[in-house]
């Protein structure tokens, strides 16, 4: 796929370019509202991919299928080149081949990115014998320029004095994709792995644990949004997880992009992410998580950002064309076509394992698999309301517990660091103009436990002061002093809450079920306190 001419629709360059840059048509699919310079002026998104709307998760499914089908076809051609003694097993292997996934929320991921994505060379058994080859999973070398040159010093050719850009990176022809680049335009795998060792337990696992409690499609699939002005405030989470705005699959997906790419890395930007081969292992995993959850199907929503073929603010639903993916020469795949993955020719181990069983059994398995820590009883969450596109991302909003003076320089290895909300696809100002906010939660339970902050339900009969005969304070903690919100740009620079669009933080809790301890009971929601900014 790498070696094909870059204009060939089967080349890695063409397929990766579907997602974001170079904002060009793929397979001649332009739609009714093709992206052009007027779209750029309006801050319309120029890639085909959907983010921040209800078909984010379904759009990426045929994207992975397209990539996989081309990959398998290439494998079948290679298999036929082996000698007679080996050909049969390679032909069979090619038939069975499906694109692998990497479960970045597995406990093993705390150890870092698998070595196969990091080493420069690998040894493989080719039709002409064993050979060392450039590792195709580490990076992809661009055949043509991607994006436009930046100011002097911020381009790869400026190495060894390369200044890592805070904006979308420019990649000249002949240069590879990169993760956490240094001034020599080299990967900094130590920083990548150090980041993963923290975020797997503070962001990825808590995010999936929250997500698998959700039962409605919109809260599960995409970032929770609502008008920040002119509408009623959502009720306290006394009944439904959805009103607590538990982490969606897109929220945790966004965090992975920021963590795996780093400052100047291709994965950190929606425009360039798909050119890093790790992108496809990430998104096949996202598809796996979707297949495991898949309770209900696509709801109607608004595509505020627009795409290469879709105008901004278009209404979308399960019958919206998932451009540019052709079902036939004249038809485009729709979300309604791709619900049954077995009919599409693939499945996942856990899907097969629980096929035909009560869905509750699979949910119980997943909640146990991704439970972020050993703590039971009450789980506490900080719910953030962030005005989207107040600041063009990517950036993150970090949450610290019991550290009022926390700043962007406070290390994420601090026991006070509880987690973050990733603002990844912030690419235009439409949302800001229309007062639309992202609402997401961060699990602060582990940080509270480690710091010894009281989180048990108070027994009011034991709260009488022996001296005054008055009730002691029943406040679990003071949100003013015990919750600190720190917005941080990708370059590590701190910004104000106002600049980042952070409007409010609230503290809520749910209690674990006594019989099934990995479940949080819906009707145990408690609302504690709020702080407006």
pLDDT in tens, 180-206: 999 999 999 999 999 999 999 999 999
Q: Which range among 68-72, 156-160, 245-249, 500-504 shows the weakest confidence by mean pLDDT?
A: 245-249
CB–CB of 103/133 below 8 Å? no
From residue 119, alpha-carbon distances to 2, 114, 135 in Å are 18, 10, 7
Q: Give, as one character, the DSSP assignment of residue 298.
A: P
394's tokens: 């990517």
For 248, list phi and psi in degrees, rounded to 5: -85, 170
Model confidence at 438, pLDDT cuts 50, 70, 90, reads confident
Q: Which range among 148-152, 316-320, 368-372 shows the weakest confidence by mean pLDDT?
A: 316-320
Q: What pLDDT is attached to residue 208?
A: 96
Q: What pLDDT is attached to residue 242?
A: 75
**Residue whose tokens read 């992009």:** 257
**Residue whose tokens read 């949004």:** 225
Please tell me which of 203-217, 429-443, 517-531 the model is most confident about, judged by mean pLDDT: 203-217
Q: What pLDDT is attached to residue 313?
A: 66
- The dihedral of CA 278, 280, 286, 292: what is its sign? negative
Q: Give, as one character, the DSSP assignment of residue 216.
A: S
CB–CB of 244/381 below 8 Å? yes
Q: In what order do the strands lie in the sheet with 502-511?
A: 224-227, 436-443, 378-387, 502-511, 526-532
Model confidence at 302, pLDDT cuts 50, 70, 90, reads low
Q: What pLDDT is attached to residue 500?
A: 93
Q: What pLDDT is attached to residue 452?
A: 84
Model confidence at 239, pLDDT cuts 50, 70, 90, reads low
In the predicted structure, residue 19 carries a pLDDT above the cut 90: yes
> Could you tell me which of 289, 352, 366, 248 has the C-alpha nearest to residue 101?
289
Which residues have CB under 8 Å from 454's CB, separation 6+?
476, 477
Mean pLDDT calculated for residue range 334-362:
92
**Widest CA span of the chain, in angstroms?**
92
Q: What pLDDT is attached to residue 477?
A: 65
Model confidence at 270, pLDDT cuts 50, 70, 90, reads very high
H or E element that contains 218: helix 217-221
Helix ranges, 80-204 (H)? 84-96, 189-199
Q: What tens digit of pLDDT does each residue of 85-129 get? A: 999 999 999 999 999 999 999 999 999 999 999 999 999 999 999
Q: What pLDDT is attached to residue 408?
A: 97
401's tokens: 């517990």
H or E element that contains 292: helix 278-293
403's tokens: 């550290």
Model confidence at 24, pLDDT cuts 50, 70, 90, reads very high
Q: What pLDDT is attached to residue 522?
A: 84
SS3 content of the chain, % helix, strand, coil (to 5): 30, 20, 50
Q: What tens digit of pLDDT does each residue of 47-85 get? A: 899 888 888 999 999 999 999 999 999 999 999 999 999
CB–CB of 258/204 below 8 Å? no
Q: What pLDDT is attached to residue 430?
A: 45
Q: What pLDDT is attached to residue 216?
A: 86
Q: Which range among 147-161, 218-232, 270-284 shows the weakest confidence by mean pLDDT?
A: 218-232
Percentage of the chain exceeding pLDDT 90: 64
Q: How far apart are CA 111 and CA 196, in angstroms?
A: 8
CB–CB of 386/394 below 8 Å? no
Q: What pLDDT is attached to residue 286?
A: 97
Model confidence at 435, pLDDT cuts 50, 70, 90, reads low
Model confidence at 523, pLDDT cuts 50, 70, 90, reads confident
> Could you tell me which of 509, 510, 506, 511 has the C-alpha nearest to residue 529?
506
Which residues have CB under 8 Å from 45's CB, separation 6+?
51, 270, 305, 306, 307, 308, 427, 428
Q: How far apart are CA 382 and CA 237, in angstroms?
A: 12
Neighbour count for residue 120 (Cβ, 10 Å): 10
Q: What pLDDT is attached to residue 376?
A: 87
More confident: 429 or 381? 381
Helix ranges, 44-83 (H)? 56-79
- Strands (E) across 147-245 are located at 224-227
Q: What pLDDT is attached to residue 62?
A: 96
Q: How far apart are CA 337 and CA 58, in angstroms?
A: 10
Q: What pLDDT is attached to residue 310?
A: 76
Q: What pLDDT is attached to residue 321?
A: 87
SS3 label, residue 501: coil
Model confidence at 431, pLDDT cuts 50, 70, 90, reads very low
Q: What tens digit of pLDDT does each residue of 460-504 get? A: 444 455 554 544 444 456 788 889 999 999 999 999 999 999 999
Which residues have CB under 8 Å from 120's CB, separation 6+?
134, 135, 138
Q: Which range among 12-16, 303-307, 319-323, 415-419 shows the weakest confidence by mean pLDDT?
A: 303-307
């Amino acid at each position: 796929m790498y070696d094909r001419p870059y204009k060939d629709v089967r080349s890695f360059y063409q397929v990766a370019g579907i997602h974001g840059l170079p904002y060009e048509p793929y397979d001649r699919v332009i739609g009714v509202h093709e992206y052009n310079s007027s779209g750029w002026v309006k801050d319309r998104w120029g890639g085909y991919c959907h983010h921040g709307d209800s078909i984010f998760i379904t759009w990426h499914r045929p994207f992975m299928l397209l990539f996989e089908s081309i990959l398998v076809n290439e494998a079948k051609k290679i298999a036929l080149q082996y000698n007679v003694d080996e050909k049969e097993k390679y032909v069979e292997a090619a038939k069975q081949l499906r694109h692998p996934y990497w479960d970045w929320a597995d406990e093993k991921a705390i150890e870092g990115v698998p070595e196969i994505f990091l080493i420069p060379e690998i040894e493989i058994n080719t039709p002409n014998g064993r050979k060392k080859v450039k590792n195709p999973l580490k990076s992809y070398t661009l055949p043509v320029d991607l994006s436009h040159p930046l100011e002097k010093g911020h381009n790869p050719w400026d190495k060894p004095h390369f200044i890592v850009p805070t904006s979308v990176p420019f990649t000249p022809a002949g240069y590879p994709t990169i993760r956490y680049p240094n001034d020599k335009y080299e990967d900094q795998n130590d920083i990548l792995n150090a980041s993963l060792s923290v975020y797997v337990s503070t962001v990825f696992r808590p995010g999936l644990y929250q997500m698998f409690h959700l039962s409605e499609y919109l809260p599960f699939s995409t970032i929770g949004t609502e008008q920040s002005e002119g509408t009623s405030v959502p009720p306290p989470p006394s009944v439904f997880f959805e009103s607590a705005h538990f982490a969606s699959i897109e929220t945790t997906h966004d965090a992975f992009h920021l963590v795996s790419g780093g400052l100047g890395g291709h994965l950190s930007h929606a425009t360039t992410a798909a050119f890093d081969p790790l992108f496809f292992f990430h998104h096949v995993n996202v598809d796996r998580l979707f297949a495991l959850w898949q309770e209900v199907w696509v709801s109607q929503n608004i595509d505020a950002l627009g795409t290469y073929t879709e105008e901004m603010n278009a209404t979308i639903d399960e019958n919206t064309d998932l451009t540019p993916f052709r079902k036939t020469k004249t038809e485009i795949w729709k979300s309604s076509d791709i619900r049954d993955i077995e009919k599409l020719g693939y499945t996942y181990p856990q899907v097969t394992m629980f096929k035909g069983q009560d869905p509750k059994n699979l949910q119980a398995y997943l909640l146990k698999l991704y439970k972020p820590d050993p703590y039971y009883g009450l789980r506490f969450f900080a719910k953030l309301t962030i005005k989207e596109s107040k600041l063009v991302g990517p950036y993150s909003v970090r949450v610290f517990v019991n550290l009022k003076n926390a700043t962007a320089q406070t290390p994420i290895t601090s026991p006070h660091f509880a987690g973050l909300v990733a603002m990844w696809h912030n690419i235009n100002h439409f949302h800001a103009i229309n007062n639309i906010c992202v609402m997401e939660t961060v699990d602060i339970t582990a940080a509270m436990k480690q710091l010894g902050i009281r989180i048990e339900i108070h027994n009011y009969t034991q709260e009488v002061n022996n001296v005054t005969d008055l009730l002691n304070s029943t406040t679990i903690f003071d949100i003013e002093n015990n919750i600190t919100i720190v917005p941080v740009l990708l370059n590590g620079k701190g910004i104000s809450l106002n600049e980042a669009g952070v409007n409010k933080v609230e503290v809520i809790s749910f209690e674990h079920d006594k019989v099934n301890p990995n479940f949080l009971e819906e009707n145990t929601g408690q609302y504690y306190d709020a702080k407006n900014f």
